């Protein structure tokens, strides 16, 4: 998830957040709901009644940390002209579909330039914007004693759901691991 700081540009990418907090909140809710869906599915396959499932899910706390990419402007094609006027725009996100595929940055002021030309550097999305970390804690005594392998299974199922869901292009190569104490 990225966000656009220029309101005139936000209409060009309606799937982007309007601000940093909105983008973070969206990712948190998406990941948390996916984990809850996996755990609910497991509880249903164990034939637990709805009130018990609701109680178990209510005993979970999910904390997600994610730093969304700030796009001062967007280019919907690699060769779209970029107005890199002095101090106006220092970073433009290259967008294909609803996914940022690269970042066009300017190290010097100038006029109209094309992303990818010698005067403007095209770079990959920085790793700080492609990583989501989180913790899941529970007060449920049974789940608290699950093995690391059981939690890894939950992680793997959640990743598969994200990779096949409405935001699959953002999660198609996602991987995750469970750190044990």
- Tell me how far CA of residue 113 lies from CA of 80, 81, 105, 109, in angstroms: 9, 6, 11, 10
Span 68-92, pLDDT tens digits: 999 888 887 655 655 544 445 567 8
pLDDT at 97 over 60: yes
Predicted confidence (pLDDT) at residue 109 exceeds the cutoff of 60: no
Mean pLDDT confidence for 146-175: 88
Per-residue pLDDT reduced to its tens digit, 112-136: 555 655 455 678 888 889 889 989 8
**pTM greater than the 0.85 cutoff:** no
Per DSSP (E only), the strands in 19-140 are: 60-66, 69-71, 73-75, 81-83, 91-96, 99-106, 112-114, 120-123, 132-138
Average pLDDT, the chain: 83
| Residue position matching structure tokens 């970042």 | 103
Check residues 22 and 8 and name the one with the higher pLDDT: 22
């Amino acid at each position: 998830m990225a966000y656009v700081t220029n309101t005139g540009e936000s209409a060009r990418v309606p799937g982007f957040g309007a601000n940093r907090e909105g983008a973070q909140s969206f990712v948190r809710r998406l990941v948390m709901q996916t984990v809850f869906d996996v755990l609910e599915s497991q509880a249903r396959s164990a034939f637990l009644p709805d009130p018990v499932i609701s109680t178990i899910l209510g005993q979970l706390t999910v904390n997600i940390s994610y730093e969304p990419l700030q796009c001062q402007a967007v280019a919907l094609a690699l060769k779209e002209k970029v107005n890199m006027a002095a101090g106006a725009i220092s970073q433009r996100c290259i967008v294909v579909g609803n996914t940022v595929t690269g970042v066009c940055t300017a190290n010097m002021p100038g006029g109209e330039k094309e992303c990818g030309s010698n005067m403007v550097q095209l770079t990959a999305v920085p790793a700080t914007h492609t990583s989501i970390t989180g913790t899941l804690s529970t007060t449920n005594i049974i789940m608290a004693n699950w093995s690391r392998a059981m939690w890894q299974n939950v992680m793997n199922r959640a990743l598969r759901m994200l990779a096949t869901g409405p935001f699959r292009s953002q999660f198609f190569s996602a991987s995750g691991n469970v750190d044990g104490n």
